[in-house]
Chains A and B, each alone.
Chain A
Amino acid sequence: MEKMIYLDNNATTPIDPRVLEAMLPYFRDKFGNAASIHHKFGWDAADAVKQARQQVANVIGAAPEEIIFTSGATESDNLALKGIASMYADKGRHIITCKTEHKAILDVCKWLETKGYEITYLPVDKYGIVDIDLLAESIRKDTILVSIMAANNETGTIAPIETIGAICKAKGAFFHTDATQAFGKIPLDVEKMGIDLLSLSAHKIYGPKGVGALYVRRKNPQVRCEPIIHGGGHERGIRSGTLNVPGIVGLGQAADIAVREMANESQRLQKLRDKLYNELSDRLEGVTLNGHPNQRLANTANISFAWVEGEALMLGINEIAVSSGSACTSASLEPSHVLRAMGVLDVLAHNSIRFSLGRFNTEQEIDYTIKRVVEEVNRLRELSPLYEMAKQGKELRIAD
């Protein structure tokens, strides 16, 4: 196979040609600044932004004026956490989140700790689902925000968002969800799910990189968010800076396609993903799934192959792009914090590979992937002293 196979769609996605087509005029003829209110160049740009805002709002059941465009989900997460922390510091300085969040949440929380905020990091069960009872117990009078991701980037596990929203509402804390992976892939409704703030990104749904949005509730209750970027008062004063019009058009178009094709696409991807996992576990011993068996994004399968280190496997199948929770892939030499929080043993976390499928993968690519993974796992097991010892029924004895 001369072509590379891309199964790392939770990292980023290729742009959909329909999205690119929609964007192109806004680089060339319609290059205006959406804030230029005195000429047609500006009006055309403003009209395009208006349409995109409506398209994004539609996906989550929001009103268009509740959508704040940003440079991506990391900025949206920063804005949500820092913006709420700063605006509501008088009410309290306690924030609740979860151990398996993305670094765009966890690193902001660590920073807030240095500024005098107290953060509760909730544990998860073996499937990566946050402890709901503990969440309810943890909300105090001075809790200003609960931030729990909608779907996990490493495992695809989907959180019980509606339950969390109801708890937060009953206890009077705002609820933010990082929906970077969930947006456009599973049904989301900010009203039904009691979501007050929601982060999303374009490049995970076949849109361009460098653009995203934060949903900020305007009524029942109104949520106020202190800006982190000042300079001109764009986006209702919450996020200054000239709007990235082509990017925003791309986000809108990508969101529109995602919501229209969601049902068919998730059905197709789930079939391919389940074929991948089922055939691998039929043809190889020591294969385990990390993540919830069914409360999971249709495109994601995080799999550990016993006795084979993840980075070595990735190198062996390097015509296929995937990710690993292995320490060897990070500078820290520690395995995935997500798998650790789920209680996956370090030795199995090192052996994990994340396959994340996408719109442009074919069944033929999945068949090829199955064949290559089986070949390479078998080859690396022949090299593995752990496999040899397991076969001989020996315990690993290591001199110090």
Chain B
Amino acid sequence: MKISLGWLAQYVDISESPEELAHLLTMAGLEVSAIEHRGEGIENVVVARILEKGRHPNADKLSLCKVTDGEAEYPIVCGATNMVAGDMVALARVGAVLPGNFKIKKAKLRGEASEGMMCSTRELALGESHEGIIILPPDAPLGTGLLEYLGLPDHVIEVEITPNRPDWLSVVGVAREVAALTGRELRMPIPAITEAATATPASDETSVRIDAPDLCHRYAARLIKGVKIGPSPQWIQQRLESAGVRPISNVVDVTNYVLMELGHPLHAFDFNKLRGKRIVVRRAGEGEKFTTLDDTERGMGADNLMIADGEGAVAIAGVMGGQNSEVSEGTVDVLLESAYFHPSNIRRTGKELGLKTEASYRFERGADIEGLILSLERATELIVELAGGEVSSGIIDNYPTVHEKRSVTMRIEKAQAILGIEVDPAQAQGYLEGLGLTVTANELGRITATIPHFRVDLEREIDLIEEVARLKGYHEIPATMPRSGAMANTLGEAYAFTDKVRDTLMAAGLMETITLSFIDPADDDRIGLAQDSELRNKIEISNPLGRETSVMRTSLLPGLLRSASLNARRGNRDIAIFEVGHTFHPEAGTDLPNELQKAAGLLTGRRAPLAWWSDNDKLDFFDGKGVLESTLSSLGIKSCKFAPTEEIPWLQPGRAATFTVGEKQLGWIGEILPDILDPYELGAPTVAFSFDIEATREVAQATGKFGGLDKFPPVERDLAFVVDRQVQSGEIIGAITGMKIELVRRVVLFDAFEGGKVPEGKQSLAFRVTYRSDERTLTESEVSEIEAQVKQKLADSFGATLRDA
């Protein structure tokens, strides 16, 4: 909200500079986000009159004017079209300076001399309008400095008002805070109204009936007859502009002015357009249609509160008026509304209609039910002042259930316990009184305060404690270290494990990425998910930013592919990345999905960086698997089994595996199908893997006790076999270890090849077997005996033929 300091000073003395005042307010919780200096940097701009307006001989879009400031006449070439001869304008004379240090000089424009410029509001940085030049009222004094005429320069502060403080949403509200902070006097406006003695009392001419007292707690009105609609004087227009409100006409401007001044939203009806000349406050009929001031027809629901006349709706209560009762040029009699509507009902209505107005913004935060009469009177006073007319006698005030004032008690002891400082009762009382609270009791360390209606936020003891701290200043509270401590560190174990996953993947050369958790539903097709795949079952966002970010991911793969793709398109084709994050899996019977913490990696491009020593080989399945195995090993997974799979639709069959520990499947790894890679502009091979971190943690083994170094030397023997190409080396190692021969300690595949001397369809595999006993040194014959058993087993199980090693 924008507050003019010139306006503010009407209600409270201000001796601070704008910057000092901004600091004072900011440190009291009323954050000033910007200071605007209106009228600064303007020199030598005066009120002038257009004497003649003619066509520019050489340019269709320009006019040639003769303008006077009362002293001399100036030829001026102008591009605007909104003026006529006789208009009063803002003239920047030769030698004038405009904001942005723009100097006005004598010029020739398309061959015609131009000695000065007629200014728009934007050129003077006084408003946004650039549709034409400023046209001043006919009575503007010729030759007067424009700044003087407009009451400038002025400073405007922009304040960020937290939702708990609707009482700050006005100039007077901010003035009240300044008064409380500085101990100065607050000067409230005191409206002076002369009711027409001869006129009929308002209550004889109109009435207000509240059919929904639960939603409308008070409805007050004034009738003003015989007004003349026209433009507002400059001072009102300037103040509205300073607050960012566009001036319209005197009566409407007054309601907006009082809204900004006192914070209470008002509405002016054209009284003669009210059918039956009366007001009925009622709920909308289901499906009722209503056209608001902004020329939009809206469908209403039964929980929306409407203001109606004798026949139908004329306004959406607290949100926006209707076209059918709008004050317009021909309006003569005005019914002025000042009411209180239920905050959450107004909020719901505004949300449902997608309509947020200055009025609804204030009503939904809580208006001042007692202050609404002051606002009504203030607006009545100003309407008569600016638009003439007579005020019918009497206020119509329908207030079915009077809101009692709350009283709240604060214990000094509790204030001290919360804040951690000594609180002086007299000082605390002073702070609260400064805010307009009536402190009615002060005994036994208790302060009881009666809360004015404009402070909707003060309901509990803690609210008063906060006020005391706020006014004392947070800087007055020291920084101490809590004496609490002694907390068990157990919650963090899962987090530490996840962090270790990140560390090991990074150490293996994979860069960590983070992508958005919501993805494109089309990603399912991009990774080739079957129509009935469980992974297609996703949490959908009801109000996504766009379709591309509308469902919660069930796999980290789409994000990795997207990141890899971006890099590939930008020319980096050597990519090794991973991501750790949640995937979201809907569960029957609950709206909360099962969230799994997963890690996934993707590698593509060269195996090693381009270098004098590297051979430019592309990486493949086994590079990914190496990363995965070393990671799992670091995490305490010592016996993980890999098995070929054809179940994973995005992986190339024959280069895809799942891996398990015991019965628990941890994840998958494989080369992505080339057809899937193409749209991402990624080349094959691209290897990806994924595993469930929590499942991994459950089977991970902590590092055990150290059992000492081996006492007896091992014997190593190599075995080389030719077997069918389809045989998996893991099966052979599994067969050997499955024999459960105690002395066989380790089997390592150390060579594998096909082609050459190896027959078509076969492969040669070479294993190094380590034999060792814990009790004795093994003899050659012992080892040979076992080796013979192993060979036999492999010959039987795999048709393995021994090759000379």
A and B are partners in one complex rather than unrelated chains: no
Interface residue ranges, A against B (CB under 8 Å): none
